[in-house]
A and B are shown apart, each in its own frame.
Chain A
Amino acid sequence: GAGVSQTPSNKVTEKGKYVELRCDPISGHTALYWYRQSLGQGPEFLIYFQGTGAADDSGLPNDRFFAVRPEGSVSTLKIQRTERGDSAVYLCASSLGVNTEAFFGQGTRLTVV
């Protein structure tokens, strides 16, 4: 596709439920990033992939959060036992190389009620 695509655009879930957020990066981009952004705040780094492997997952807040990128393209961010504090916009981005900018998707707004 022409840009980074994230689905769904909005997700409302009940506390304690499991959710999956999908990211389809720009074709050919080897690096893929997940960020979380709360209202009026900067994007908070969660994890990034280089190809299929998670090169750095130091930003994942706890073991309820997990992300995969099995074929080096589409990635899924998985959140177990959601809590109200998980409510935020989850952003995905991809980049071609280490010296190129990252392109962001429109984000998935997650609301845990």
Chain B
Amino acid sequence: AQSVAQPEDQVNVAEGNPLTVKCTYSVSGNPYLFWYVQYPNRGLQFLLKYITGDNLVKGSYGFEAEFNKSQTSFHLKKPSALVSDSALYFCAVRGVESGGFKTIFGAGTRLFVKA
């Protein structure tokens, strides 16, 4: 069965410092991996995805993520955090089960960026 783990409930970082939000996954076959962000009282917004190819993928708002097959991880990163990055971040995995569309989300990591 597919699963996603986000081991940190919360990540605190100072503005201007690099940030990392961790994600590990379990899925049959090759994974499709996604990161979404949710601001208060807003819907889920897509940030980036890994389907195939280069292990480092770049997305919206300066975010990037690195796919590591051996560690089954897909950590979200940003070189320099902004206060406006403070939000709830979700990692998701889509596997080949059920025709390849079933997408499972992690529990989320709350990011606080201090000025």
Contact = CB atoms under 8 A, between A and B. Distances in A.
Query: How extensive is the interface on chain B, given as a class?
Result: 20 to 34
A42 B88 CA distance: 9
A45 B103 contact: yes
A2 interface: no
Contacts of A106: 42-43
Query: How extensive is the interface on chain A, given as a class?
Result: 20 to 34
Contacts of B13: none
Interface string A1-43: 0000000000000000000000000000001010100001111
Interface of A: 31, 33, 35, 40-45, 48, 50, 55-56, 58, 91, 93, 95, 98-99, 101-107
Interface of B: 6, 32, 34, 36, 42-46, 49, 51-52, 88, 90, 94, 97-108, 110
